[in-house]
Structure 1
Amino acid sequence: MTDLLITGGTVVDGTGAAPVRADVAVTGGRVEAIGDLAGRPAARTLDASGHAVTPGFVDVHTHSDLTLLSGPEAHSAVRQGVTSVVVGNCGLGVAPVAADPAALRAAAGYLDLDPAVRWTWSDLPGYLAALDAARPSVNVAALVAHIPLRAAAVGFADRPAGAAELDRMRGLLGDALAAGAAGVSTGLVYAPACYARDDELLALGRTAAEHGRLFAWHVRDYADGLLDSVRQALAVASATGCRTQISHLVAVGRRNHGSVARALDLIDDARAGGADVAFDVYPYLAGNAPLSQLLPDWAQEGGEDPMRGRLADPDVRARVADEWRDMPLTWDDITVSRVPDGPAGSGDGDGEAGGAIVGRTIAEIAAAAGTDPSRVALDLAAEHGNGVQMIAAGRGERDLLDALAHPAAVIGSDGQALDPDGPTGGGAPHPRSYGCFPRLFAEYARRPGGLPLAEAVRKCTSAPAERAGLADRGVLREGAVADVAVFDTERIADRATFASPQRFPDGIRAVVVGGRPVVEDGVHGGARPGEILRIP
């Protein structure tokens, strides 16, 4: 007997093929049949009449490395239709822990929303075992992050890696890839990865290519230096042959609006020349990052503690403030979204003059305190290090539309799996964590002239699964893993906003992970059937 029969829906199979009216039978966690299955006996039937039945969404770009250990139900992800996530992006990661564990945890402060999560592992297999024990509601694949690799081999200093240190990084990376990692990522704005020279990036690319895995890039600059930064990633792709993913392609700052089209030209040229290059994007005009990302590389050298001590020096503060005068963003563009040590660990810290600062721009905080915005930013970084998060605006709609329409674009939220009622639910997080995928359909597929439904689904399912090397995911076909999203194409919409981000979307009828319903009519039923996806 069939375990689960999804009836009456319109199947959009994830390949880009035209939607078809069909039923879907699921047995043993896999798709058993697709077609007219009227009368087929089933242990359970789910009525999908009037709804699209698609593969579950594959979020190729997340920062849920630690939040899944705090809240394995993955509420904000699975309730928007996500069934698989990739962690370890942007060079930010939690394994291997071969250097000072406290220093590495501080460097990954952006990921670390729940201090109660214990780091019990020393390498990627240990971390994946911890995820396995947590029994998440979604499937999880992991990239090996550059920061732990460099910290283990070189430390946190601004200097080139020596030959033995490059061999050490390649060895650690190779071990992790052999243990099932989906690839490697770098984040060239984050210390100590920002100190990597070209030979180090080439070494990582060659190792990824030897194992047939992905190399994901948070490039060195998304503002004035976007095109040169994309060229650097493409040069490594060309020289090494590694499958390459440029993360969250965007142009930061109004003076750089229009640069995405030129970056896409570079990507097109590389693809025409045989390079395996794509990119991810999310449908918002603001991003989210550690506030410390704004600091120049030299100010971050040595790790978080030396950085915080350095920022107490008046001469250092004056030098940083002077470099900030030509930032592509204004202080009105930058909103504090989380402070790590607010009341009861809520992330809703108290700011200068005793007023709450979360949800307010740096300019607003400075005006209320009668001080300079750069002083506010420096004080926050000095007091809280890498744990302060910001929302950064200043992006252009035309750039976003250009990126979304490109055939090499896939959707990646750049968000985290959050629990609004748990330790990860505080602050004012970016709404993408709760609404990225529904927003794509509501704002950029349903609109006149928007993405066709089948193409929008492909960008959320088979295309990201292929980039990450996830076999039998992201498609609805006989024999594929039964990760399924069922939603109303006319009602699906994000409800999370920058002002009220902890809100689940509308229009999601059901989410099935490995053949087991996890969400029905917007309610998480408590099932945690996710698998840890180790790439063979």
Structure 2
Amino acid sequence: MPDELLLTGGLVVDGSGGPAVTADVLVRAGRIAAIGPGLSAPVARDVTGRVVCPGFVDIHTHSDLTLLSDPRALSKVHQGVTTEVVGNCGLGVAPLAPGVPVAPIRAAVGYLDLDAAVDWSWPDLAGYFSVLAAAGPGINVASLVGHLALHGSVVGFTDRPAGAAEVDRMCGLLGEAFDAGAVGLSTGLVYAPLPYVRDDELLALARVVAGRDRIFTWHVRNYDDALVDSVTQAVRVARATGARTQISHLAAVGRRNWGAVRKALDLVDAANADGFDIGVDIYPYLHGNAPLSQLLPAHTQEGGPEAWMPRLADPAVRAFVRAAWVDRPTGWDEITLSWTSRPAPDPVVGSSVAELAAAAGVDGAEIVLDLLAALGNGVLMTAGGRSEDDLRAVLGHPATVVASDGLALDPGGVTGAGVPHPRSYGTFPRFLQRYAADLPDGIRRCTSAPAARVGLSDRGLLRPGAPADVVVFDPARLADRATFTAPHQFAAGIDLVLVNGAVTVDGGEHTGARAGSVLRGNT
């Protein structure tokens, strides 16, 4: 692999939002050496008619464990992603309080756990980073601290407030993770035991975040009927503590809630006008993806999967859950099973709950309760009920960046099972091809803007001295090819991807290079 590579004649969009210019880009020793006309080098590639831009920075991902299953990050790097941030939605894999077994935490974050062969042996974030670096990732990886691991390992899985000493212990563990290089904290207030968290705990953790100038990302408590109240909570904590805040995958679920995102964005605007720093991210699709267990009332999930799975056999518990589902904002026809922990192919995968119910002669609630009783967090869904107008309102907002909420998957390996959300393969090409009316601004929302949100100041821009994370794409052919029924398809039009100067995708083919780095926040 050459130490020096010259890309000639391309349309350079540098990630700043500034206008595109025709220029050459010289890469040397893993960094951008020069940008301008008339450059020369022994090894040159004509990229006339192509866009040359920074690698995409995906700040909302769930690749914590899949990168250890296959470090190449195929589904991500083939769409131009060169940097991921893991540990989102509160579902990180470190740190755990000393002496706490991994098993209950691993079961609680089952959404991340597509390969049971991955050996989760680290106790803290420094240990996770060591394991990840030893695996040789094909892209750069930074990490948030997942609130679930903190709370679950210190407080447990019961519905009770954390005591003062427990809050202090979580704050101490969070500080240690920041010392190890975490770029922020994430919470996910729908993932048990986090629905049981009170504001005093959130405020205390947010003060640690603010004191270290990191970011606090929120999978808010509710995205359907209580979306505005849930965003209000996140904004209230930001105002009280000054923590830089990110509202994750902002969307309103259920037709009766369409339009609520505008009220949520008004809250963001008001806080930013008052001098606070609140951002938003979203992926360009009208379906989400989550554990099926997210549908359960929080009370039902107390004690963790080992407790609530057998509890779902109790007729009284099933009746309680059924009653909670009477007025759901989405129908069973809008929920499709995308993956289970059973050996592939599982015949239920790819079918909607309504289809399975009709085939079995029962209602949708029966199907879901039976699956959860058998598999716990080992069953995933894609869920609809969203509005195109809402999506465009969020994507067009000045505080919004693009992020996939997906995973790095290997279509030919263990993590290629099922019919996952296509966002893992196509988020960034889809956004640029379908939604980005202004290409420089669209690329900014995929590169420098998300990098800045998480404090990765050396990523997301093409400038001399910066690491050479570079994407070359054909704007005439750029397209997401992954669909909800056939998701394991790489994007089209991504001609060349460099990660830290190493040619990683060339002509749509992976070269085998694994030149990614573990990125650490300022310590």
TM bucket by the smaller chain? over 0.9
Shift of residue 471, structure 1, vs aligned partner: 2.0
Structure 1 CA distance for aligned equivalents of residues 276 and 223 of structure 2: 21
CA contact (8 A) 2:430 2:479 kept: yes
> Residue 519 of structure 2 aligns with which residue?
533
* Letter paired with 1:383: A
> Residue 226 of structure 1 aligns with which residue?
227
State how 1:86-235 maps to structure 2 within 5 Å. Answer: 86-98=85-97, 99-235=100-236
CA shift digits 1:162-199 (9 cap, x unpaired): 00000000000000011100100000000011111000
Answering whether residue 412 of structure 2 is matched by residue 424 of structure 1, we say no
Structure 1 CA distance for aligned equivalents of residues 66 and 50 of structure 2: 31
State how 1:495-534 maps to structure 2 within 5 Å. Answer: 495-534=481-520
> Residue 353 of structure 1 aligns with which residue?
none
> Residue 245 of structure 1 aligns with which residue?
246
Answering whether residue 443 of structure 2 is matched by residue 457 of structure 1, we say yes
Paired residue secondary structure (2:498): strand
Paired residue secondary structure (1:24): strand
> Residue 63 of structure 2 aligns with which residue?
64
CA shift digits 1:288-329 (9 cap, x unpaired): 000000000001111111010111111100110110011111
> Residue 359 of structure 1 aligns with which residue?
350
* Letter paired with 1:489: P
CA contact (8 A) 1:215 1:242 kept: yes
Shift of residue 253, structure 1, vs aligned partner: 0.6
CA contact (8 A) 1:136 1:530 kept: yes
CA contact (8 A) 2:157 2:192 kept: yes
* Letter paired with 2:514: R
Paired residue secondary structure (1:136): coil
Structure 1 CA distance for aligned equivalents of residues 472 and 308 of structure 2: 47
2:371 maps to which of 359, 363, 380: 380
> Residue 41 of structure 2 aligns with which residue?
41
* Letter paired with 1:5: L
> Residue 264 of structure 1 aligns with which residue?
265
Structure 2 CA distance for aligned equivalents of residues 535 and 72 of structure 1: 21
Structure 1 CA distance for aligned equivalents of residues 54 and 383 of structure 2: 32
* Letter paired with 1:23: D
Structure 2 CA distance for aligned equivalents of residues 85 and 368 of structure 1: 41
* Letter paired with 1:72: P
Paired residue secondary structure (2:217): strand
* Letter paired with 1:158: D
Structure 2 CA distance for aligned equivalents of residues 100 and 229 of structure 1: 32
Structure 2 CA distance for aligned equivalents of residues 110 and 340 of structure 1: 10
Paired residue secondary structure (1:499): coil
Paired residue secondary structure (1:148): helix
Structure-2 change in CA distance of 1:269 and 1:370 (3 Å): same
Paired residue secondary structure (1:90): helix
Structure 1 CA distance for aligned equivalents of residues 109 and 295 of structure 2: 16
1:412 maps to which of 391, 396, 403: 403
Structure 1 CA distance for aligned equivalents of residues 468 and 242 of structure 2: 33
Structure 1 CA distance for aligned equivalents of residues 274 and 65 of structure 2: 39
Structure 1 CA distance for aligned equivalents of residues 450 and 358 of structure 2: 44
Structure 2 CA distance for aligned equivalents of residues 263 and 418 of structure 1: 32
Paired residue secondary structure (1:407): coil
> Residue 362 of structure 2 aligns with which residue?
371
Shift of residue 2, structure 1, vs aligned partner: 6.7
* Letter paired with 2:44: T
Answering whether residue 50 of structure 2 is matched by residue 51 of structure 1, we say yes
State how 1:436-475 maps to structure 2 within 5 Å. Answer: 436-445=427-436, 451-475=437-461
TM-score by length of 2: 0.98
Please list every run of 5 or more consecutive structure 2 residues that lacks an aligned counterpart in the other structure.
none
CA contact (8 A) 1:56 1:83 kept: yes
Structure 1 CA distance for aligned equivalents of residues 394 and 283 of structure 2: 9
Shift of residue 119, structure 1, vs aligned partner: 0.7
CA shift digits 1:248-273 (9 cap, x unpaired): 00001111011111111111001101
CA contact (8 A) 2:410 2:416 kept: yes
TM-score by length of 1: 0.96
Shift of residue 46, structure 1, vs aligned partner: 2.7
Structure 2 CA distance for aligned equivalents of residues 184 and 46 of structure 1: 41
Structure 2 CA distance for aligned equivalents of residues 248 and 224 of structure 1: 16
CA contact (8 A) 1:2 1:25 kept: no
CA shift digits 1:342-363 (9 cap, x unpaired): 2xxx3x32xxxxxx11111001
> Residue 294 of structure 1 aligns with which residue?
295
Shift of residue 7, structure 1, vs aligned partner: 1.1
Structure 2 CA distance for aligned equivalents of residues 140 and 2 of structure 1: 23
Shift of residue 461, structure 1, vs aligned partner: 0.1
CA shift digits 1:115-166 (9 cap, x unpaired): 0000120100000101001101100000000000001210111100000000
Structure 2 CA distance for aligned equivalents of residues 426 and 274 of structure 1: 46
Deviates more, 1:98-107 or 1:210-219: 98-107
Paired residue secondary structure (2:435): helix
Q: Tell me the number of residue pairs that the alignment of Structure 1 and Structure 2 aligns.
A: 519
Paired residue secondary structure (1:386): coil
> Residue 448 of structure 1 aligns with which residue?
none
Structure-2 change in CA distance of 1:418 and 1:2 (3 Å): closer
Shift of residue 37, structure 1, vs aligned partner: 3.2
Paired residue secondary structure (1:390): strand
CA shift digits 1:431-454 (9 cap, x unpaired): 000101110112112xxxxx2000
* Letter paired with 1:315: A
* Letter paired with 1:456: G
* Letter paired with 1:483: D
Q: Percent identity?
A: 59
* Letter paired with 2:243: C
Structure 1 CA distance for aligned equivalents of residues 96 and 311 of structure 2: 25
* Letter paired with 2:432: F
CA contact (8 A) 1:417 1:433 kept: yes
Structure 1 CA distance for aligned equivalents of residues 206 and 45 of structure 2: 45
Deviates more, 1:6-15 or 1:44-53: 44-53
2:469 maps to which of 483, 502, 506: 483
Shift of residue 29, structure 1, vs aligned partner: 1.1
CA contact (8 A) 1:89 1:185 kept: yes
Shift of residue 47, structure 1, vs aligned partner: 2.3
Structure-2 change in CA distance of 1:66 and 1:464 (3 Å): same
Paired residue secondary structure (1:176): helix
CA shift digits 1:378-402 (9 cap, x unpaired): 1111100012000000100000000
Paired residue secondary structure (1:143): strand
> Residue 256 of structure 2 aligns with which residue?
255
* Letter paired with 1:431: P
